[in-house]
């Protein structure tokens, strides 16, 4: 048995029964990184020495009967989460020497829960993109086929899970950056409701949308991590007071009688193989007692426009702080994608254009939210393809200023509305690239969508399909 291929649930059992130690588990992941990451490039920094120290400490605590939820479990962290004493670059040369003096709330919570941090994963620079090709530290490759992209912006995170270079990963999504790479890499990616998980210490992209979340091998692992991350944080005023559930305890609830919405609008321009895979999910859902119902949703093409304006505008404001005076390099170090986004946002917020662009986009955002509210009166959840395609070839995003928006067309509407969504593997294409399905629910319905995702996963063989990395 390869320890680095375990799920969190399996690893926890093994640690408890003393079949192996956290040091064994951590070493197995580090060995895999040494063997494969020169080809995959999932990590920007690997913190081997620190990781092994944390693992030793975890082993001592385990021996004392400590029951912390992630005690001794190795995780990778996307490189836009501030990690005290560990370089944090957001994949940009602007921050290539930046060492944060504090931890993001997500990181503190994971450390308190006992995680072993393996290192920091590659991403699109500043999380701008859906390919990792805008990273200043080289593109990450898809472990299923290294001539293809992993998706993004959490491409390194998804690839680190798929290539067994970690047990699970932490990513962040603004509109697609968890679900889309999870889809392309054949793993589970959960984007929580906006405000469910703290943004404190995450390098800000679009502050009204940013949502940190887990990327894992199974839905159960996703629930276990969300239990640690979710909840009110004094340092992020947008986090919700709403109580958090024990998400992992309700995964097996009967889902018979629930109504699943599907919309033709989410199948426009989608690859035939992807379409077919999503339609093939109806059977297992019906077997579980769910009803499939056709609904009409706001055309996602308008969500692309809304997202493009809001995201660029918020980016131009958030990236204004990088002046090279207090930390980091000056503004000449920004890459092309960041420059494009800063300028477009500056333009849409500038005098004379604000009403035509920013205000208009915020009004259409209201209409998209209302459209989802209406739909959730008719159905319990919505399913759709996560991405219109399987992983595209390396180089596909070059000089395509709208690449990300088109790749994320089907996840942008729910992100704009602040809704939770999860990507679950739903099959493979003929050339053996993963296909993903997303489940979208109303605000704060994580318990329900994890429950439904888990039941679907248990009915299908996709999550147990082992990747045989052949390089």
Partner 1 sequence: MKINVTHIAKLANLPLSHEEKQKFEKQLEETLSYVENLKEIDTKDVEPTSQVTGLENVTREDAASPSLTQEEALSNTKSIHNGFVKVTAILEQ
Residues engaged in binding partner 1 (CB under 8 A) = 97-99, 101-102, 194-195, 208, 234, 237-238, 240, 301-302, 304-306, 308-309, 312, 316, 320, 323, 325-328, 331-332, 334, 339-340, 342-344, 346-347, 350, 357, 359-367, 369, 399, 401-402, 405, 417-418, 443
Q: DSSP character for 392?
A: P
CA of 90: how far to CAs of 131, 349, 393, in Å? Answer: 14, 25, 23
CA 411/CA 407 separation, integer angstroms: 9
> What SS3 state is found at 450?
helix
Rounded Cα distance between 301 and 307, Å, is: 10
Is 78 one of the catalytic residues? Answer: yes
- Phi, psi of 131, deg, nearest 5: -140, -20
SS3 172: strand
Which residue, 14 or 100, has its beta carbon nearer to partner 1? 100
Smaller CB separation from partner 1, 377 or 461:
377
Peptide bond into 153 cis (omega under 30): yes
Spatial neighbors of 192 by CB under 8 A, at least 6 apart, are 211, 212, 213, 226, 229, 230, 420, 446
Which residue's CB is nearer to partner 1, number 291 or number 331?
Answer: 331
Letter string b/e over residues 50-59, b meaning 16 or more CB atoms within 10 A of that residue's CB = bbbebbbebb
Nearest to 177 by CA among 208, 213, 228, 226: 213
Active site residue 153: yes
Closest approach of partner 1 to the CB of residue 48, in Å: 23
Place of tokens 């000056």: 330
Q: How far is the CB of 266 from partner 1 (least distance, A)?
A: 18
The answer to whether the CB of 123 falls within 8 A of the CB of 132 is yes
Q: How far is the CB of 83 from partner 1 (least distance, A)?
A: 14
Nearest to 165 by CA among 43, 45, 57, 73: 43
Edge-to-edge strand ranges of the sheet holding 168-173: 43-46, 116-121, 74-78, 168-173, 211-216, 188-191, 421-428, 434-440, 381-385, 259-263, 291-295
Catalytic residue among 177, 198, 316, 414: 177
Task: Kindly tell me which of 246 and 366 has the beta carbon lying closer to partner 1.
Answer: 366
Residue 21 annotated as catalytic = no
**Residues taking part in catalysis:** 78, 153, 177
């Amino acid at each position: 048995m390869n320890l680095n291929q375990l799920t969190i649930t399996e690893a926890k059992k093994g640690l408890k029964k003393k079949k192996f130690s956290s040091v064994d588990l951590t070493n197995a992941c580090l060995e895999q990184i040494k063997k494969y990451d020169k080809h995959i490039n999932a990590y920007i920094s690997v913190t081997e020495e620190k990781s092994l120290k944390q693992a030793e400490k975890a082993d001592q605590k385990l021996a004392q009967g400590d029951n912390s939820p992630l005690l001794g479990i190795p995780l990778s962290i996307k490189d836009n989460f501030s990690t005290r004493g560990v370089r944090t670059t957001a994949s940009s040369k602007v921050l290539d020497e930046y060492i944060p003096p504090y931890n993001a709330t997500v990181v503190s919570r994971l450390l308190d829960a006992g995680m072993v941090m393996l290192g920091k994963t590659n991403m699109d620079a500043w999380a701008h993109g859906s390919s990792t090709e805008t990273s200043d530290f080289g593109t990450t490759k898809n472990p299923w086929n290294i001539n293809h992209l992993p998706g993004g912006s959490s491409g390194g995170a998804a690839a680190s899970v798929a290539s067994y270079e970690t047990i699970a990963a932490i990513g962040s999504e603004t509109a697609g950056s968890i679900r889309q790479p999870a889809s392309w890499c054949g793993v589970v990616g959960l984007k929580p409701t906006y405000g469910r998980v703290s943004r404190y210490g995450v390098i800000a992209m679009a502050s009204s949308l940013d949502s940190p979340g887990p990327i894992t091998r199974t839905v159960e692992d996703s629930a276990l991590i969300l239990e640690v991350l979710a909840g009110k944080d004094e340092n992020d005023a947008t986090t919700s007071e709403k109580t958090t559930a024990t998400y992992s305890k309700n995964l097996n609830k009967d889902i018979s009688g629930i109504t699943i919405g599907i919309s033709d609008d989410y199948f426009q321009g989608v690859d035939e193989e992807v379409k077919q895979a999503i339609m093939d999910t109806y059977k297992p859902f019906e077997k579980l007692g769910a009803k499939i119902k056709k609904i009409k949703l706001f055309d996602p093409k308008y969500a692309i426009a809304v997202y493009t304006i809001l995201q660029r505008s918020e980016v131009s404001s958030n990236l204004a702080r990088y002046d090279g005076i207090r930390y980091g390099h000056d503004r000449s170090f920004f890459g092309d994608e960041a420059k494009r986004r800063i300028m477009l946002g500056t333009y849409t917020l500038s005098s004379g254009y604000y009403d035509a662009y920013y205000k208009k986009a915020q009004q259409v955002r209201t209409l998209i939210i209302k459209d989802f509210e209406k739909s959730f009166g008719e159905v319990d959840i919505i399913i759709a393809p996560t991405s219109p395609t399987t992983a595209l070839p390396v180089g596909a995003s070059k000089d395509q200023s709208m690449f990300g928006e088109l790749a994320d067309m089907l996840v942008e509407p729910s992100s704009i509305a602040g809704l939770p969504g999860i990507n679950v593997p739903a099959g493979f294409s003929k050339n053996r690239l993963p296909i993903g399905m997303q489940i979208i629910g109303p605000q704060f319905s994580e318990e329900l969508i994890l429950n439904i995702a888990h039941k679907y996963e248990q009915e299908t063989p996709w999550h147990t399909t082992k990747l045989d990395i052949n390089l």
